Structure 1
Amino acid sequence: MDPDSSIPALPCVELGATLEFYGRLGFKTTYQQRAPNPYAATNRQGAELHFFGVKGLDPAAAYSVCLIIVSEVEKLHAEFSEAFRQGYGKVPLRGVPRITRMKKGQSRFTVVDPNGNSVMFIRKDEPEGYGDDDVDTDAQPASVLGKALKTARRLRDFKGDDAMAAKVLDGALKKPGGGTVLERARVILASAELAAVLSGSDRARERLRELDALALSASERDSLREEHAAVRKFIEAAK
């Protein structure tokens, strides 16, 4: 007996623009009709996405989400980023459409299409408790800053809610104390990344200047070097 299967059908504003967008990402159109209702089917290495036209659809208010399980994500993210660069002249990191940032060791990323649909690409061997810094995934960070960073990561990576993630981090940074200087530095870096997406590169650079003013030891700054460089690169790309 053949196993059951399911295929996501996502709403779209305009079929042609949607198929062109997904075509850049390697999705081949396998079926298309314009009447009596706009509808199309696409396939990329076995992953199927269908689309149907909706009059008056507002991409900014869209909430459809689809998960695609893949064998790896870092190379795929790089491939998609290059496709966007070729098609748009840059990698879209803000607004609609966009692609979320890929951090080293990350096991998922999201593409938001021109219709506001969020398609998450998730590595099939994603570890349980992904997003936690703790070896024991049931453990909770003890500090205010540590808890805020963990919450913000989940809001960004799992719910795609950049605005709420930024609000959580900003609130934690305003509280006196809250954790170690190194934790504050990590929260500032995460906040700068979100600021680049939500407010632009100028606001993100303001955040990084706060990092420069922290009394970090040489070893602490060295431990942040790779992440700091990645955030700076991201800010430049988000211009």
Structure 2
Amino acid sequence: MPILPCPDIDEIVDFYRMLGFERTYRQTRPNPYVAVRRGGVELHFAGISGFDPEQSYGSCVIGVEDTAEVFEEFAAGMRAVHGKLLLSGIPRITRPRRRKNIGNASGFSVIDPGGNWIRIHQHMSTGAAPSDATDPLARTLENAVVFGDSRGDARHAAKILDGKLAKAGPATPPTVLAEALVYRAELAVRLDDPDHAEALLTRLRALDLTEAQRTSLTETLATAADLERDLRDIRGDRPV
């Protein structure tokens, strides 16, 4: 099992308790060390004085059957503590999406207070599937997800997506455009650009989607609703 770095073992324990883990071991001498467990998953951390989470290369992969279920459990814990999802900075969480760099299986990441990337992937035996992206925007969205969610480069993901969104026209499938707008809005939140995020969600609301298209976009539209709530929190104008 991995031994991941962190600047403060107690901060790490508090974070993982929020996600449903329990502490199974703790020591402060001769070196700070802690272990947490959730079901069959166990993570160990070494406390390093002065460690900078921004410079962490710590990472591990956890295989699960259903990434959406695990994400919702993590998200519920995060909202219970913080009142919202943490989407930017450290710590933060990404949402489950199919990723072409893991066989188009679903995955999301948790970046903990130590800057470690805990990558939650659907088991390849059940989740892998060939990509059906044929539209240029759909293919670019796949690439943007790899950069933004797997590599943590939200700025580059936004840049390549902006280029194709600017060229989207009547021939662009509305469902593809909706998915791209929502992901780009999430990237804007990560990049601390709430005005642009709101503009993208306004563009989303203006799409003339059929009922069947809305049904196929259930998760995407739910993400958009979450982002709108996050933006209200950012602006401090949560409805009473």
Bin the TM-score by the shorter chain: 0.7 to 0.9
Matched, 1:198 2:191: yes
**Deviations along 1:180-212, whole A, 9 cap, x unmatched?**
253444422321222122234332111133345
Aligned partner of residue 153 in structure 1, secondary structure: helix
2:114 alignment counterpart? 115
The answer to whether the 8 Å contact 1:155/1:165 transfers is: yes
**Range that drifts further, 85-94 or 41-50:** 85-94
User: Aligned ranges for residues 35-54 of structure 1 at < 5 Å?
Assistant: 35-54=29-48
Residue number in structure 2 paired with 1:128: 128
Paired residue total:
224
When residues 184 and 46 of structure 1 are mapped into structure 2, their CA distance, relative to the original with a 3 A threshold, is closer
Aligned to 2:7: 13
Corresponding letter in the other structure for 1:64? G
223-232 or 159-168, which deviates more: 223-232
The code of the aligned residue for 1:174 comes to A
Mean alpha-carbon deviation: is it higher for 168-177 or for 76-85?
A: 168-177
Report the Cα distance in structure 2 between the residues aligned to 1:210 and 1:200, rounded to whole angstroms: 16
Q: CA deviation at 1:96?
A: 1.3
SS in 1 for 2:186: helix
Higher Rg = 1
Paired residues for 1:158-177 under 5 Å: 158-175=150-167
Code of the aligned partner of 1:36: P
Quick one: distance in 1 between partners of 2:214 and 2:21?
41
Deviation at 1:113, TM superposition (A): 0.8
Structure 2: 5+ residue runs without aligned partners? Answer: 99-103, 232-240
Deviation of residue 72 (structure 1)? Answer: 2.4
1:84-135 Cα distance to aligned partner (Å, 9 max, x none): 12222322222211121246997322111111111112222442247x3x1x
TM-superposition CA deviations, 1:11-43 (whole Å, max 9, x none): 001011111211222322222211221112222
Give the fraction of aligned pairs with identical amino acids, expressed as a percent.
37
TM-score, length-scaled by structure 1: 0.78
What per-residue deviation string (whole Å, max 9, x for no partner) do you get for residues 149-174 of structure 1?
Answer: 12112233433433322121012223
72-81 or 185-194: bigger deviation: 185-194
Q: Within 5 A, what are the aligned runs for 1:66-215?
A: 66-102=60-96, 107-124=106-123, 125-129=125-129, 132=131, 134=132, 141=134, 143-175=135-167, 180=172, 182=174, 183-211=176-204
* Partner residue in 1 for 2:59: 65
Q: What is the CA distance between 1:235 and its match in structure 2?
A: 1.3
For residues 51 and 91 of structure 1, the distance between their equivalents in structure 2, rounded to whole angstroms, comes to 24
CA distance in 1 between counterparts of 2:227 and 2:209 reads 25
For 1:35, what is the secondary structure of its paired residue?
Answer: coil
Q: TM-score, normalised by structure 2?
A: 0.78
Q: 1:219 to 1:31 in 2, by over 3 A?
A: closer
